[in-house]
Amino acid sequence: MLPNHPSLLCNGVLPPPPLTGGGRGVGEAGNGGGARGSCRGATAGARSVLLAIVIVLCATPAFAMHISEGILPFPWALLWSLVALPFVAIGVRRLNLLAREDLSLKPLVGLMTAVVFIVSCLPVPVPTAGTCSHPCGTGISAILVGPLVSVLIAAVSLLIQALFLAHGGLSTLGANTLSMGVVGSFVGFLAFRGLRRVGASLVVSGFVAGLLADWGTYAATSLFLSLGIRGDAPLLPLFTRVLLAFMPTQLPLGIIEGVATAGMVRLLYRKRPDLLLKMRVITEKELPSHA
């Protein structure tokens, strides 16, 4: 006959002693209940320890994306927010006007928002800066929906990332919107339209727009960071150091984003030239013969 060992009682191998049969049976039942309780407590403790070990071993590193919360002093964060706010407000008005003219443009704006949100969530660690770079996507959105709506798209994407992904921050939302949304969108848009005016092809114009939108974003980010953290230090040397710290990753990322932007413009020209015509990216004379 097996003894009433606590481990056997806990695992259900042995039934608990009967509650009848005099004082001895009652005493054995009490001892069995105490053994079961202590064993359950030990099991729960072991599970908690194992869970803690799994969390520590399986945790993924957090990547600092955009300008993180608390990096900029409050006066600078407030200034950039006040500068970015009118662009966002005008972007909302511009989107409403476009939607009134053609409701079919809403899906395009939604698609561009998804593209900018996903692309700007891709972290690429910067070994020389202890932070992360990422593509922006504002070049293609500015080409297709215009720079003002692209600012709004960037602001919405950055707000969602700050709230749910801990990328950037609420206090730095204005600075991030200004760099990625305003600077990135307008630099990309002006580069694209300028090259088209001098006769450059869609592919070349799209490549340069995506490239400069990305690089312009990080030049602005470097400037905002330098102004915020410089203290009494000279601005230009600090700005140069911050800008150089991003170069190992941002130079190739800008080229990749330029290639991706050119590819998307080329694909739309082949598959949906009517969309490019509607958004005034091309003229009727440039429509392909099969359109």
| 150-179 pLDDT, tens digit each | 999 999 999 999 999 888 889 999 999 999
Count Cα atoms within 13 angstroms, Cβ side, for 207: 7
Give the count of beta carbons closer than 10 Å to the beta carbon of residue 40. Answer: 11
If you search the block for the tokens 């097996």, which residue do you land on? 2
* Contact status, residue 188 vs residue 212, Cβ threshold 8 Å: yes
Helices (H), 165-234: 173-176, 184-197, 202-229
Beta bridge partners of 126: 131
Specify the long-range contacts of residues 7-11, CB closer than 8 Å, at least 24 apart. Answer: 7/39, 9/35, 9/36, 9/39, 10/35, 10/36, 10/39, 10/40, 10/43
Residue 19: pLDDT above 70? Answer: no
DSSP 5: -
Average pLDDT of the residues in 13-26: 47
Provide the pLDDT for residue 288. 83
- Please give the model's pTM, rounded to 2 decimal places: 0.76
Residue 78: pLDDT above 90? Answer: yes
Residue 199: pLDDT above 80? Answer: yes
Provide the pLDDT for residue 122. 81
Whether domain 74-286 has CATH 1.10.1760.20: the reply is yes
Radius of gyration of the chain (CA): 30
What the block records as the tokens of 70 is 């608390």
Provide the pLDDT for residue 9. 40
Beta bridge partners of 133: 124
Residue 42: pLDDT above 90? Answer: no
Average pLDDT of the residues in 65-83: 88
Average pLDDT of the residues in 24-43: 52
Q: Tell me the pLDDT band of 246, cut-offs 50, 70 and 90.
A: confident
The highest-confidence range among 6-10, 30-34, 44-48, by mean pLDDT, is 44-48
The rounded mean pLDDT for the chain is 81
Q: What is the per-residue pLDDT across 86-106, written as a single tens digit (0 to 9) for each? A: 999 999 999 999 888 888 888
